[in-house]
Structure 1
Amino acid sequence: MSATDPTPTTSISPAELQEIVRVFADSDMRELRLSVGAVELLVSRNEQVEASGARPAAPPAPAVHQAPAPAALAPAAPAQESAPAQEPAAAPAQSGAPDRAGLAEIRSPALGTFYRRPAPDQPAFVEVGTQVAVGDAVGTIEVMKMFTTVTSDVAGTVTEICVDDAVLVEHGQPLFYVDPAGS
């Protein structure tokens, strides 16, 4: 790029835009304005958006239309979207599925990439059989290069690890099962 070329060097990919919209949809934010290079994005749950004055047909849905999931995300998305509606009443689908009666769940606080270890060269935060206390770190979630610590909200013994390291998880997805009686 020359000194007289006004073309911005910063850009954002369609996959990054889609992730931003997904994170917005899972958040409590009412409106998000983002400008990256030549791309300007406005996502809003407000009935009236200042920039256009248009009223969305069905508030509080985001005012941006989401594109279909990229092929890399497509296999995980349908299974996760249908699971929450079936969880309370569903019986284990497979024979040999673990009995989770009386167990507490540690769920993902956000959509993002879940990491079981603080760094690639370090051991996992917890393993099956690990005793955890309320507030203990059990993993991290990465969203757009920002990391959030996942903490246990129950004391007990980890009985099941539901996701592998470095896997995309949905908001509210079970990450661990903990036996509160095992503390």
Structure 2
Amino acid sequence: MGIFRKDEIDKTNKSLWYCLETNFKNLDGHEFEQIIAKLYRKKGFRVEQTPKGPDQGVDLIAKKGRSTIIVQTKNWKNKVTNTDVLKTSGARQMARADYSMIITSSTFTASAKEAIKKSPRIRGTEIIGLKRQFKKYFVINKPKKKSTFEKFKEKFTRKRPKKVLKRKTKVGKRPVKIKRNVRRRKS
């Protein structure tokens, strides 16, 4: 892996929490692929993302030891259908992978679930299972809200910019910038 700075971990933690709360609806397809790739890396896989564009049903190629899994991600509002499962099965055979995985931010239709059950080399993960996996492999804490004192302190300790006034001079009548401290002094 690597060593991350604390602020990077905090940003990842907050964004993962937000993604889980909104069921990944705020992500586009490529961002959803990246977050799934992060999950598979956390599971110990070496992950290769396919380039943007037509991918023939393969978004990620995950390898661990001798086994290879192709992953098709579907960040959809609609349910994943039987034809999507069959396309992924064909992509697995073309890529000569051991397993294929369909991961969706929605659910599967009844016929798609039946097709997944019939094929021993296809797995499917819906939004509920996906949330469980993220909670298992990542420490996801709800971002803390700032206390009233912290908000007050932040508001009044910020440096405010000085206002710049423009006046016309009597000579030449061109605008001249005159800096003047507008803040009021304490009495």
Give the TM interval when normalised to the shorter protein: under 0.3
Please give the TM-score of this superposition, normalised by the length of structure 2.
0.24
TM-score when normalising by structure 1? 0.25
- Structure whose residues are more often strand by fraction: 1
Larger Rg: 2
Structure whose residues are more often helix by fraction: 2
Higher RCO, 1 vs 2 (CA within 8 Å, ≥6 residues apart): 1
